[in-house]
A and B are shown apart, each in its own frame.
Chain A
Amino acid sequence: MTLSIKNATKQFGDFTAVDDISLDVAEGQMHGFLGANGAGKTTTFRMALGLLTPTQGEVLWQGRRISYADSPDIGYLPEERGLYPKMKVQDQLVYLAQLRRMGKKQAEQGAMEWLERFEVPHYANKKVEELSKGNQQKIQLIASLLHNPKLLILDEPFSGLDPVNVEMLKKAILDFQKQGATIVFSSHRMDHVEELCDDMSILDKGKLIVHGSIREVKRTFGKQNVRIHSDFDITSLSAVPGVEKFTAQRGGGVFRVADEAVGQNLLTRALEIGPVRQFALEEPSLEEIFIEKVGRAHV
């Protein structure tokens, strides 16, 4: 286990930001943190980085608490983006990489390679404040991984980007993982987590309410969606035993069921009403799991 959070709790005065979280992230894995605003994601990351000391418990990196000696091995993209507004892009990247003890020559070369990869080499000698927000974010991401860290922590890496750039950054992050880096990132976009991650966790009000591999999480959720499209009104089917929720859609609807057998039952009933144009058994999306879990936790 490279990164392991053990019973970590962080309190600010009376407020508990992170409440007894335990979690392991294996080497080379991509781990996604989901959570609403204020769920404790950033505090967890800051504890992992050693910026905050847990009130209780500990966070270990390769068996030790993270210290500044590990600085070259760690990359961090903070939620609040920050760069020197008046400094030139390349100078800035080199400076930040040097702080992580990368050599100057290497950093200069690496910075240019990344700028080219993100299709912005012409910004190398521009001041950061002259760049658009999306481009600043690219620079910020480069700054977090230019020194080839073994552990990369990304706090909301895709927020505020257009779809084209999101794809570009996603690909870069996936490639970086393939080179062997362990990556932890947070998002409130479920689809990004679903697409990129091996493992995931959901935080709510400082508590870890779901965690594990995505497949496992979905399986243990134990529910499936039954999609039925028909030319006839099938709303009455929501009364069938075993249906937990019905969401009407154009030309049909989606039934949430606890058991696959209920799905078959629904199909039979639907056929009694009229011809069925489409029938599908679907895995629940992370979004549904999230809403279900977090919603329930709120009550």
Chain B
Amino acid sequence: MYSFWIIFKQAFKTKAMTKSFMITTLVVVASFFLLANLPSIIESFSGDDDSQQTLQVLDETGQYTEALQAQLSQQDSAIQLEASELDEEQLKAEVEEGSIDAYLVLAGEGQLSARYVAESATDSAEAAELENALQSLQTANVAEQLELEETELARLFAPVAMEREALAESSKSQEELSQARGLVYILIMVIYIAVIYYPNMIAMEVANEKSSRVMEILISSVSPVKHMFAKIAGIGTLGILQMMTFALAGYLAIQSSGSDLTEGIFSVMGFSEVKFSTFFYAILFFLLGYFLYAVLAALLGSLVSRTEDVQQLMLPMMILIIIASFIAFSGISMPDATYVTVASYIPFFAPLVMFLRVGLLDIPLWEPLLSIAIMLLTIGLLGWFGARVYRGGVLMYGSSQSLKDIRRAIKLGNGK
């Protein structure tokens, strides 16, 4: 156990101390803070510019400006209207000069018509807001002309009550689903990146030790199996700590931005009603996925003689992860699909796909448990198999870049 800890500590420390690791961590943390504060940063740059400007209005009827302003304030719009004292030619000249961005022309008795004139037609946000407000104004006007009662008006505009109802018992209600979806999406993304990033680290580490030939000393000192698992555990711990750092940074960043996670963009992600179990499963499936792919990566890393060959040999593994991510991401919109259910029991896809299902569906507990059991079994088998390949693989030098070398490695390790 002593030597296990020595390797564990060594793997953890050397990776944590590398410049690339520190820089990556810092960049990600910094980008979290940047992203969380992006809206206020953008505002601070553009604040003194156009958003505070009032919109010049040429009101030919002379009666709409005030009503429109009232309607706009009701819509929480920041647009300020001002009746212009200039004629259209002068306003046009000012837009061309750039001293104002746009102006609005209102005309028509009874039937309201409007023209929004700007330098280019791309600044549509303001125009859309105006159109909305004008539509309401028009409706109110017509209703008045038709002498409709308040209640009649209400009936006319009552929205259709449409609710989607899922018959399958496992599926969550539409409302719950859309809330969970955002969070699950993000967590799948995190697991996906983690099971690529950390196992890759392992493969590189193993290949490095092999190419620098220090491996022969290592495995004559401690058993290859112990060496392999100590390394996997060391880098895994580092991974968890890095992820926790990111999570903490993300939380602090959002705090610092003053949002309470329920407004604006965050309401879509469903942070308002976070279920503890979702996070629990995320960590669990991250760990399982990591161990599964880390053992595979160590196995593949032990086959190459030069670090340059690592990527080539890792390709089949990468394809597995990418397929898993395709299934998971496409499954977000239809987690009930048969192929998603099937994939959630296939060990190499399960870390992403089963997590998707437990995150989005109310499935019985035995389903994730079965999937976890399958994964644990696979990790065990791969560990056993990997240790055999590793034992021979680390002694094998030469042009080894294909999976056929697995057989050679087992032979060499076995002495048969």
Contacts and interface: CB of A to CB of B under 8 A. Distances in A.
Nearest to A66: B220
Nearest to A81: B213
B216 A80 contact: yes
A101 B2 contact: yes
Interface stretch (A47-55, A179-187, A216-224): A47-55
Interface in B1-47: 2-3, 6-7, 10, 14
Given A12-B412, A53-B414, A68-B223, A82 B217 contact: yes
A99 B7 contact: yes
A80 B213 contact: yes
A100 B214 contact: no
Q: Most chain-B CB neighbours within 10 Å: which of A51, A84, A85, A96?
A: A51
B221 A99 contact: yes
A98 B6 contact: yes
A74 B220 contact: yes
Nearest to A92: B214
B215 A82 contact: yes
Interface residues of A, number: 31
Contacts of B10: 95
Contacts of B212: 82-85
Contacts of A255: none
Nearest to B226: A68
A121 interface: no
B415 A53 contact: yes
B414 A98 contact: no
Contacts of A68: 222-223, 226
B213 A100 contact: no
A78 interface: yes
Contacts of A53: 414-415
B395 interface: yes
B1 to A, nearest CB: 10
Nearest to A49: B220
Contacts of A85: 212
B214 A84 contact: yes
A51 B395 contact: yes
Contacts of A13: 411
Nearest to A56: B415
A99 B222 contact: yes
A76 interface: yes
Interface string A51-71: 111110000000000001001
A13 B408 CA distance: 9
A188 interface: no
A46 interface: yes
Contacts of B14: 87
Nearest to B216: A78
Interface in A262-281: none
A52 B412 contact: yes
A227 interface: no
Q: Which of B213, B226, B397, B415 has its CB near the most chain A CB atoms (within 10 A)?
A: B415
B3 A101 contact: yes
Interface string A113-141: 00000000000000000000000000000
Contact of B219 (A51, A83, A87, A143): A51
Contacts of A71: 3, 221-222
Given A82-B212, A99-B222, A46 B2 contact: no
Contacts of A84: 209, 212, 214
Interface in B170-222: 209, 212-222
Contacts of B397: 80
B404 interface: no
B416 interface: yes
Contacts of A101: 2-3
A99 B220 CA distance: 10
A143 B217 contact: yes
A10 B395 CA distance: 15
Contact of B217 (A10, A46, A78, A98): A78
A96 B221 contact: yes
20 contacts: A51-B216, A52-B395, A52-B412, A52-B415, A71-B3, A71-B221, A74-B220, A76-B216, A76-B220, A78-B213, A81-B213, A84-B209, A84-B212, A84-B214, A95-B10, A96-B217, A98-B6, A99-B218, A99-B221, A101-B2
Given A76-B220, A99-B6, A99-B7, 17 more contacts: A12-B411, A12-B412, A46-B395, A51-B395, A52-B415, A53-B415, A55-B415, A55-B416, A68-B222, A78-B216, A80-B213, A83-B212, A83-B214, A96-B221, A98-B3, A99-B218, A99-B221
